[in-house]
Structure 1
Amino acid sequence: MAEAEINYAAVFQALPGMVAVLTPDLVYADVNEEFVRLSGRTREQLVGRYLFDAFPDNPGDPAATGARNLEASLRRVLATGERDTMALQRYDVESAERPGEWEERYWSPVNAPIVGADGRVELLVHRVEEVTELIRARGRPEGSRARVLEAELYTRALELQGLNERLRKAHAHEREVALALQEAMLPTPGPVGHHRAAVRYRPAVGSLNVCGDWYDLVDLPGDRIGVGVGDVVGHGLRAACVMGQLRSALSAASRVAGGPARALEVVGLYARSIDGAENTTAVQTHIDWDSHTLTYSSAGHPPQALLRTDGTVEFLDQATDPPLGARPDHVARPQATIAFNEGDTLVLYTDGLIERRREDIDAGLARLADSLTRNRAADPERLADTLLLELLPAGGATDDTALVIVRL
């Protein structure tokens, strides 16, 4: 049986709350029956009229701000294409029966965009919740205790709703800034001699769980390069700033220090002077093609993976020490060296690639090893994309991920 076609015009008119549709010029395009009933206006007095001609601010109240606040909200929606939930508004309305007399009203508006195919806002949905009686009940001593309490709770809920919306927008803005900063600090690396390497950075979805991870590749004397990844504890703009400082410090230290362990020691001492750098994890590796060796040191970071040409995977965990700045006293860090064969692949990553809540890390390492073995014939670029596709959750990770792959 074919589904019946939904009459959306009838649905709109039957909506239980006050809902209007506005043009980008803030003219009423349509209103539902509840909007007509509770506003005290007829359809003819609304449709086709400019919103603030139909509902101006009370000219007898110099402190009236309802119209001004509402227009600012609607303009934000038009400019950003994002919904805006307003705080509770006092908005006096001129009586339809007694022109010149103004009635004190309290409305809780939400404004949402309808975006066209070109990405522009074509219409605005303006929903208003009429809460005048609840606000009045709060101020009436003769009102029942339950009614007054209901008014108090409802008012607080509306205030929290507006606060949550403002916080969401502030967080979204900070996330955009942090990601822009992250992108500027993690440029696509230049060629590493004649060797093939791939890098990836994937931000977390939602919230502010982004911008603490980094990667770095540096040229060293001879046929050598230094490669590292790190993860700052914390998220958002602050973590991005800390990340930038530590990444730059480790990149510089790798060029002059006598090996990865010494480079991490230097950066560990530096981390003690940076607020928010405590317990940052990092791993640094020097790849030497002349001797076919990897020399590495880890500061509390998940182990690198060495994919052999025969498909076996070794996790490099023989030189692991606490995170940067975790020790109160300076102690020399360990360092280990392992031989590699031509065609092997080195994989460095941050914990967003393998760790999942309520799951042992060994399960994530096993997934990584399995994916590497199955895709060992892929070049670094293709392998990087495949690992992200196979290992990150389908809906997006809750932590950001940095990934470096070098064909040895």
Structure 2
Amino acid sequence: MSEVSGDIDYAALFDAVPTPLSVLDRDFVFVEANQAYLEITGRTRDELIGHHLFDVFPVNPDDPDADGPENLLASFRRVLETGKPDTMILQRYDIPRPGSEGRYEERYWSPVNTPVLGEDGSVSLIVNRVEDATAYVRDSLAHPTGLADTGGGLRAADGKIAESELYARARELYEHNERLRRAHAREHEVALTLQKAMLPTHMPLELRNAAVRYRPAQGSLNVCGDWYDMINLSEDRFAVAVGDVVGRGLEAASVMGQLRSALSAAMRVADGPAQALYGLDLYARSLDGALATTAVKLDIDTHTHTLTYSSAGHLPPMLCHPDGYTELLDQATDVPLAARSRPSHRPQAITTYVPGSALILYTDGLVERREESIDVGLKRLSESLTRHRDLGPEEIADNLLEDLGMNRGTADDAALVVIKL
């Protein structure tokens, strides 16, 4: 196998690629374009670089129903939101004739928009690849006759699939998918609003040394059922809980709200975390969508400096002592809610803490990553908590999210509660 000697001139390589390519920033301003793109659009680099794409190629005023520019903008926004490439079907997008005043030419394009990620993992640039299908479409639309139904779809007299028919059907499919996408986006917005409305935003006055964070999953369709809650039990006793409902969307958000409310009521009357989770288990058995929900409940006694806890299949709370030693509160873990054929009493454990310790409760979205052991995520969380243990709860929460990559988006929701004891 031969080796390429010397450094590769990527700028020259980009310009030599025969496929038309342009590079846009997050505001859709041209940063670069290769020679193939200049030739296919009839523009010079000076006419493109530093200019907004939709200023260079505005909507054809003689075709107010044209949806090509609108669809392209929607694709760009999906790329920015998801960080993933977006392939579009054939689009009609007329562009001004070079050197003419207000005259447009009918053009058809097949675009693919690909993100370029920055050092922080967010989208910094978009590569817009286009293929000009104008001649292909004009030829197919100019010969709409001679079609026959052979049982496998419409075919032209020479046996080729009728391009115009394919184009029309592709447009119908695209429009149907766009309607589904908008419907899913509306569902996501409703679910996220419902979820946020159900989560408490103010801590009890006696728990001023606490901070909460909620991060929705990356992408527009990934609302899940994570929740947290904190209440006063007495002058020097407080209860905190975190849970995670299986599933996504409106159903998960609705189940989450009902379980959180039920556990909040149980925490006020139950004799300890285990009894509260036992009552929640009974309720979950009568609630569709609650099966296999995980939850952990913990009581804090600031007078005796003790933590009493019980877990229904949830990841263990993490306690970081002032000297930096970190331990998982995993001595009272049981199965998720409604997982047994019949309800049974839950285990409960108690441990002590030293004032100045940091306690965190969280959901799996904070530490779980695909193709990675959960132990790796827990170790990463432990190391981050140890580093930042001397900060205030707000600062600890922000640093944990940053260290675990939550500010760059993940595939799952995450709830986090930080308490300085």
- Compute the TM-score of the two structures, normalised by the length of structure 2: 0.68
Counterpart residue identity of residue 367, structure 1: R
Query: What is the CA-CA distance between 1:216 and the residue it aligns to?
Result: 0.3
CA distance in 1 between partners of 2:177 and 2:139 (Å): 22
CA distance in 2 between partners of 1:74 and 1:157 (Å): 14
1:97 maps to none
Residue pair 1:192, 1:225 contacting (<8 A) in 2 also: no
Alpha-carbon distance change, 7 to 189 in structure 1, aligned in 2, over 3 angstroms: closer
Give the alignment partner of residue 140 of structure 1, picking from 147, 150, 154. Answer: 147
1:267 maps to 280
2:127 maps to none
1:331 maps to 344
Aligned pairs for 1:153-232 (under 5 A) are 153-193=166-206, 195-232=208-245
Alpha-carbon distance change, 225 to 160 in structure 1, aligned in 2, over 3 angstroms: same
2:41 maps to 15
Query: What is the CA-CA distance between 1:135 and the residue it aligns to?
Result: 9.6
Query: What is the CA-CA distance between 1:88 and the residue it aligns to?
Result: 10
- Secondary structure of 1:241's match? helix
2:404 maps to 391
CA distance in 2 between partners of 1:259 and 1:200 (Å): 25
Residues 212-241 of structure 1: CA deviation (Å, up to 9, x unaligned): 111100110241110011111111122111
1:241 aligns with 2:254: yes
2:98 maps to none
CA distance in 1 between partners of 2:312 and 2:32 (Å): 61
Counterpart residue identity of residue 224, structure 1: R
Query: What is the CA-CA distance between 1:367 and the residue it aligns to?
Result: 0.4
> Which has the larger displacement, 167-176 or 333-342?
167-176
Query: What is the CA-CA distance between 1:278 and the residue it aligns to?
Result: 1.1
Give the alignment partner of residue 309 of structure 2, picking from 284, 296, 307. Answer: 296
Structure 2: gaps (5+ residues): 1-8, 16-30, 43-54, 79-86, 92-107, 112-131, 149-154
CA distance in 2 between partners of 1:137 and 1:189 (Å): 66
Counterpart residue identity of residue 383, structure 2: D
Residue pair 2:356, 2:420 contacting (<8 A) in 1 also: yes
Alpha-carbon distance change, 15 to 378 in structure 1, aligned in 2, over 3 angstroms: same
1:312 maps to 325
Query: What is the CA-CA distance between 1:15 and the residue it aligns to?
Result: 3.3
CA distance in 2 between partners of 1:337 and 1:367 (Å): 25
CA distance in 2 between partners of 1:144 and 1:358 (Å): 52
Residue pair 1:138, 1:151 contacting (<8 A) in 2 also: no
CA distance in 1 between partners of 2:142 and 2:245 (Å): 48
Residues 148-192 of structure 1: CA deviation (Å, up to 9, x unaligned): 265555444333322222222222222222111122111312334
Residue pair 2:204, 2:232 contacting (<8 A) in 1 also: no
RMSD: 4.2
Counterpart residue identity of residue 173, structure 2: L
- Secondary structure of 2:247's match? coil
Alpha-carbon distance change, 320 to 136 in structure 1, aligned in 2, over 3 angstroms: farther
Give the alignment partner of residue 256 of structure 1, picking from 245, 257, 269. Answer: 269
Query: What is the CA-CA distance between 1:76 and the residue it aligns to?
Result: 8.6
Residue pair 2:293, 2:336 contacting (<8 A) in 1 also: yes
Query: What is the CA-CA distance between 1:202 and the residue it aligns to?
Result: 0.8
1:348 aligns with 2:355: no
Sequence identity, in percent?
52
Alpha-carbon distance change, 195 to 108 in structure 1, aligned in 2, over 3 angstroms: closer
CA distance in 1 between partners of 2:164 and 2:351 (Å): 71
- Compute the TM-score of the two structures, normalised by the length of structure 1: 0.70
Residue pair 1:233, 1:276 contacting (<8 A) in 2 also: yes
Residues 312-337 of structure 1: CA deviation (Å, up to 9, x unaligned): 11001111111112112011111111
Structure 1: gaps (5+ residues): 17-28, 36-45, 53-69, 90-106, 111-126
Aligned pairs for 1:60-79 (under 5 A) are 70=65
CA distance in 2 between partners of 1:194 and 1:83 (Å): 40
Larger Rg: 1
Aligned pairs for 1:83-98 (under 5 A) are none
Residues 337-377 of structure 1: CA deviation (Å, up to 9, x unaligned): 11111111110000011000111111111001111111111
Residue pair 2:310, 2:333 contacting (<8 A) in 1 also: yes
Aligned pairs for 1:99-118 (under 5 A) are none
Aligned residues: 336
Aligned pairs for 1:39-54 (under 5 A) are 51=63
CA distance in 1 between partners of 2:228 and 2:398 (Å): 16
1:380 aligns with 2:387: no
Residue pair 1:368, 1:391 contacting (<8 A) in 2 also: yes
CA distance in 2 between partners of 1:163 and 1:220 (Å): 53
Alpha-carbon distance change, 284 to 135 in structure 1, aligned in 2, over 3 angstroms: farther
